[in-house]
């Protein structure tokens, strides 16, 4: 039950962040916004590393120097997330509206299923395919409805 609850709360945070970004930060250039946002994330990571982990007798060793392929994997994943964040912020700063951007973001499960099919060779069942078709229809209706004011 916790994963569902945590996902709903995270989605609420992301939705609020998207509305705030559209209303307050759409005039800032993309790189400034991403770098400012990233510095806050790094600050939270540092606080949690040095305050919370020792309090729970946990460790967070970074084996990057001992394992170059892992370091390259982290570099690749960091680049993916940086590019994704940069592009979503650029959608807002170039005049995109939060409803349209969120609707297009609803297609993420479709892309996840496609990448999973290519990477793991695990094909979605007919229920998933039906849900994706209905989801694409819903996203299309939201976008068309947003353009017809």
What number of H helices and E strands is found in the chain? 7, 0
What pLDDT digit, counting tens, does each position of 5-48 carry?
777 777 777 777 777 777 777 777 777 777 787 888 888 888 87
Residues 102 and 112: their CA atoms lie apart, in Å, by 16
Q: pTM surpassing 0.85?
A: no
What pLDDT digit, counting tens, does each position of 53-93 carry?
776 666 666 666 677 777 788 788 888 888 888 888 888 88
DSSP of 79-148, one letter per residue?
HHHHHHHHHHHHHHHTT--HHHHHHHHTTHHHHHHHHHHHHH--PPPHHHHHHHHHHHHHHHHHHHHHH-
């Amino acid at each position: 039950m916790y994963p569902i609850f945590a996902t709903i709360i995270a989605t609420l945070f992301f939705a609020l962040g998207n509305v705030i970004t559209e209303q307050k930060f759409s005039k800032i250039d993309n790189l400034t916004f991403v770098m400012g946002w990233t510095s806050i994330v790094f600050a939270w990571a540092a606080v949690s590393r040095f305050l919370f982990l020792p309090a729970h007798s946990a460790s967070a060793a970074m084996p990057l120097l001992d394992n170059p392929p892992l370091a390259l994997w982290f570099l690749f994943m960091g680049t993916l997330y940086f590019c994704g964040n940069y592009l979503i912020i650029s959608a807002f700063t170039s005049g995109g509206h939060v409803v349209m951007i969120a609707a297009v973001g609803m297609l993420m499960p479709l892309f996840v299923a496609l990448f999973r099919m290519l990477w793991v060779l695990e094909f979605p069942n007919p229920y998933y395919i039906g849900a994706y078709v209905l989801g694409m229809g819903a996203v299309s209706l939201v976008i068309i409805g947003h353009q017809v004011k």
